[in-house]
Amino acid sequence: DGLLAKVTEVVGKTDRGTEVKTAPTTLSAALGEAKADGKVKVDPSAMTVEPLMKGVTFSWAKGDGARFGAEGAKLPLGNLRLDVNAAIDTAKDAPASAGASVSGFVQLAPQVEFSYTGTKIGSAPSAAFLGMSGDWSSQWALKGRAAASTGAPKRIPFAKLHSAPVIQVGPVPVVVNLDLTAYIQVEADGQVTLDVQQDVKGDFRVGGSYATGKGWTPVSTSAVNSSPVKATVAASGRVKAALGAEASVGLYGAVGVGADFAPYLRGEADAKASASSDGKTSVSGAWALYGGFDLNGQLHLQLSLFGTPVLERRIPLGTLHREWPLVSGGAGR
C-alpha cells in the first residue's frame, strides 16, 4: 500500500544495501509547489479478490483487450464483474418451494481521482481532491420468502476487492488505495414471497475537496436508472433488497474517504400480484414496486496526510436518496 516517509539519517551500508532511518511526513512536505490532476482507471487484472461465500465468481476485461473469467468476453474494456448465486435465510414457516436466494452480478469501471495544488514546502496546499468515480451496472434476482429482519437490515458481504494504483507527481509516487466490499442487503417481514428481477445502470462520484479558507468539504453525486422490472409478489407483506458496495479510498494505506452505494428494489403487497414496468399486470389486491438508491459516506481523520489542518471529527458526505415508482395497481386490473 506504499509508505510516505522522509529519510532522517543514513546509517551505513549493509549486505542488503544502504540502511537509513525514516520518519513520517506529509504530501505538502514531499510535493512542495507541485501541481497534479490525475484520474487513473483501476486495472481490473491488478485487483485482489477475496470471495466471502460460495457461488461467487470474478471476471474482467483490461483496456488492452486481455480478458479473464466466465463473463470476461462480454465485458466492455476496463470493467470488472462479480457474479453471485447464494441462498439467504428463509422464513421459518416458508414451504420448501419458497427457499430464499439471491443471484446476479455487479459490474464496475472504477477510477481513482487525485488533484493537488501546492504552495511552499511544508505549507498546506491551496487546493486538493481525493476520491473515486465510475460506471455501475447490476442485474439481480431475489426469489422466495426471506426471513424476517429484526433491528437493522441484514447485510451479507459476498466479496472483497483491493487495489493500489499509483499516480506519479514529479519524483513522488502517490499511492492511492481502493477497497470495495460487495454485499447483498435484505429487509423483510418474513411474510411476502417474491420472484423479482431488476436491472440497474448509472454512475457515481464521491470524495473530499480542500480549498484554502474553506477546509475539507464532501463531494457526492450519482445518476441511476432502472430498466424494466418483472416481479411476482404473493401474500401480504413488504421487502426491500439491495445489491451494493462499500468503498474506501485513501493514501498510503490510510483511509481518507468512505462511501456506501446501494441501488435497491422495494415492494409492498397485500395479496398476489404479477407485474412489469411495461404496464402488463395481473393482480388481486393492492401492490406497488419502487426502485431507488442510497449513497452516503464520510471523510476521515487520516486526510492529515495532505498537510492540511487535522480533521477533529468525521465529516458526513451527506446522504443522496432517490426513489421512483416502477409499477403499482389494485384489485380488478
Establish if 171 belongs to a structural domain: yes
Give the position of cell 486481455.
66
* Half-sphere exposure (Cβ direction) of 159: Cα atoms closer than 13 Å: 26
pLDDT at 281: 58
Cβ neighbors of 206 (< 8 A, separation 6 or more) are 131, 132, 133, 218, 219, 220, 221, 247, 249, 257, 259, 261, 295, 297, 317
* Domain assignment present for 156: yes
- Max distance between CA atoms of the chain, in angstroms, equals 87
Per-residue model confidence as pLDDT tens for the chain (333 residues): 555 555 666 677 777 777 666 665 666 676 777 787 878 888 999 999 999 988 899 999 998 899 999 999 999 999 999 998 877 777 777 777 677 777 888 999 988 888 888 777 656 778 888 888 989 888 877 777 777 766 677 788 999 999 888 888 777 778 888 889 998 887 777 666 667 777 888 888 888 888 888 877 878 888 887 765 666 666 667 778 788 888 888 777 665 788 888 888 887 777 554 555 566 655 456 777 788 888 888 776 555 556 555 544 566 666 788 888 877 665 444
- At 30, which helix (H) or strand (E)? helix 27-31
Domain of residue 201 covers: 86-329
User: Is 68 domain-assigned?
Assistant: no
Inside any domain, residue 167: yes
pLDDT at 76: 92
Domain presence at residue 46: no
Nearest to 211 by CA among 122, 300, 309, 296: 309
pLDDT at 295: 86
Residue 133 lies in a domain: yes
Whether residue 43 is contained in a domain is answered as no
Q: Is residue 272 part of a domain?
A: yes
pLDDT at 60: 94
In contact, 238 and 286? CB cutoff 8 Å: no
DSSP string, 42-95: --GGG-EEEE-STTEEEEEE-TTS-EESTTGGGSPTTEEEEEEEEE-PBPTT--
Counted domains in the chain: 1
